[in-house]
Chain A
């Protein structure tokens, strides 16, 4: 295969007086599939929206290749891209229209001409007999129904319809661009693999330019194992800050694969005291969840969390991992739930007073998965640590020392007085983790702790978690990064949640 022609863009995006993105060279290999990594909030979505010609509104002032957004959008290349391409946006909930059924949205605009709808839906829903896509087509998208995964698959179905339309034209030279912004964020690994296989199959039929934005480094292993023939067609790149300048650089798959090959779970300390025990039968939202030792749920077992140990809870997305965590920390009551915490037995009838006085920030804490939501964007980094139940008011020195655990010292000093909204997504996630970890509670629940982090920061976080284990903390992790956490937790610490 020849080396691809690169489509180069210089992009600068401002909102009011703030420069959000300034990248002099963002290049896409033409008729290749680019997997784009990089910490969240660094500008991946904005850059790709700019390239696709979607920033011509009044919200941003964008300059693309020296042109303002409106002139850029009216160039023939962009027009062709918009006519033939598609963009799968990151947040399925906000990108579907609440007043039209999913079926109506699937057949809107240029999608009404596509004939491959049934086959696409069949593939995307294969192996799920309970939720047939046809029953979803008459449903309006609401926050809780359909689920995030179902909404995401609907958006993906739209993209595949558009790709099929493009393939049917058979004009490989026609400018086109298919952008997938974290297209499998709400899907578990099985569906992730299905979606990528669908994309790669279409690419094999006729090469097109595609970008998949992702934080999931285990994609590398998956592609290496199952799609060897595309080794040259799939390009890995990473968007990163180098000396405060945004650059697009090559990401060597070996960096990840090499690191993974040397990971081993630490030996489990035999004398670890039991911190908490959750009985395996859980009832919530009129559903029964079972905690088990195997993926199918045939060996139910209580979830036992020991001092100095990391425990990993796995389940397909949408099963209720976060729901169970919220029950453990008293944010949700449910119908059936029993937990032994220290010497107390708590259940659905336990009063909130108990959690307030004994649990929250004292014996247990939970770090939520979306740092953007979990932190106060209008607080400074220093103020984020105010109001916590620490013995005395946190001093600047104390906060600085805490930040050093996940930030370089000079970076920690630099961001101490910065407003959270001005941090990058990866910095926010690290701050989110540090706020929870600084409380030194016996039990820490981490919901998707590697969310939004680049590879380097992920390794740093994993090292810190190991150190906390050694100090005696019990850590419960909920994550879809199976490959990474399987390498950190031994079999005895792995549990499954089954519906």
Chain B
């Protein structure tokens, strides 16, 4: 029966699996990874998760404001503003995310050089803000879709005729009361996307742009840590087991830094996916 109950909540199961996996990784690293590397790993993991969460919060705010704002603008007959905003958003949509974020990072570097931006917390925030600009459209689309769905039913006009204000119908009745699960689902997906993009961009910057943007200027994420020489050597060693399977046990002791970073990153992305899939199944979204 317990199994039945848990199987009915696959999202929760996968959250537990993620926590357990990360716990095992931490214990293993505490035992076998050298102290400076462990510190770097924990710092990078913290930065990655913090940046991901910041992106989620910013994307939610931006997406909600844009989605609800656009709908109300359209309803109030502000066609000019509505079309301009839709047009601009569509342009942002057509920029491949990685390209947009790269451009944003170049601007950030200029600001660092001119010492406009100092402190790792501020940097982490602006890094996340740039990523949020290129992922919030998913949430904005969801918000607009939910409003459109309810506006097509009697739901919206029935409340309107009773004198309920449109701001309340949209924000409270539709989005807060009826779309929390949908928003949460989108937020988890955005979190996964943010982690992926943030780490990829850090990896690229650390590998390729080191003279342009010194990686040491940015708070390190898992991607940046993966790009260091040590980690890259460790990842290279993984390929060894294709030709020399007997080498496998060595990986878990000798090449722990790179392996831990890669595991933390991939395992997190995998679990985020399974959590969202489970959530969709459980809530029938």
Contact = CB atoms under 8 A, between A and B. Distances in A.
Q: Which of B8, B153, B162 has the most CB of A within 10 A?
A: B162
Interface string A365-401: 1111110011111110000000111000000000000
Contacts of B162: 360-361, 365, 388, 435-436, 439
Contacts of B165: 387
Contacts, number: 68
B19 interface: no
A389 B162 CA distance: 8
Given A331-B161, A376-B177, A387-B168, 13 more contacts: A360-B161, A361-B164, A366-B158, A369-B154, A373-B153, A373-B154, A374-B154, A375-B158, A378-B177, A387-B173, A389-B164, A432-B158, A439-B162
A331 B172 contact: no
A435 B155 CA distance: 13
Interface in A319-365: 326, 329, 331, 352, 360-362, 364-365
Contacts of B153: 370, 373
Given A373-B153, A387-B172, A360 B160 contact: yes
A364 B160 CA distance: 11
B249 interface: no
A16 interface: yes
B159 interface: yes
A294 B244 CA distance: 94
B69 interface: no
Q: Which of B154, B159, B160, B164 has the most CB of A within 10 A?
A: B154
Interface residues of B, number: 20
Given A379-B173, A387-B168, A374 B158 contact: yes
Contacts of B177: 376, 378-379
A55 to B, nearest CB: 16
6 contacts: A326-B157, A360-B160, A365-B163, A368-B157, A373-B158, A376-B177
A115 B147 CA distance: 47
Given A379-B173, A379-B177, A387-B168, A374 B163 contact: no
B94 to A, nearest CB: 29
A362 B155 contact: no
Contacts of B163: 360-362, 365, 388-389, 439
Q: Which of A16, A376, A388, A389 has the most CB of B within 10 A?
A: A376
A436 B161 CA distance: 9
Measured as residues with beta carbon below 8 angstroms from the partner, the interface class of chain A is 20 to 34
B178 interface: yes
Contacts of A370: 153-154
Interface string A4-16: 0000000000001
A435 B217 CA distance: 60
Interface of A: 16, 326, 329, 331, 352, 360-362, 364-370, 373-379, 387-389, 432, 435-436, 439
Given A361-B164, A368-B154, A370-B154, A377 B159 contact: no
Given A378-B177, A387-B165, A331 B154 contact: no
Contact of A376 (B77, B155, B157): B155
A369 B158 CA distance: 10
Contact of B155 (A331, A374, A387, A389): A374
Nearest to B9: A16
Contacts of B77: 352
Interface in B150-189: 153-155, 157-165, 168-169, 172-173, 177-178
Contacts of A373: 153-155, 158
Contacts of A368: 154, 157-158, 161
Contacts of B158: 366-368, 373-375, 432
Interface string B62-97: 000000000000000100000000000000000000
B161 A376 contact: no
A360 B166 CA distance: 12
A432 B154 CA distance: 12
A366 B161 contact: yes
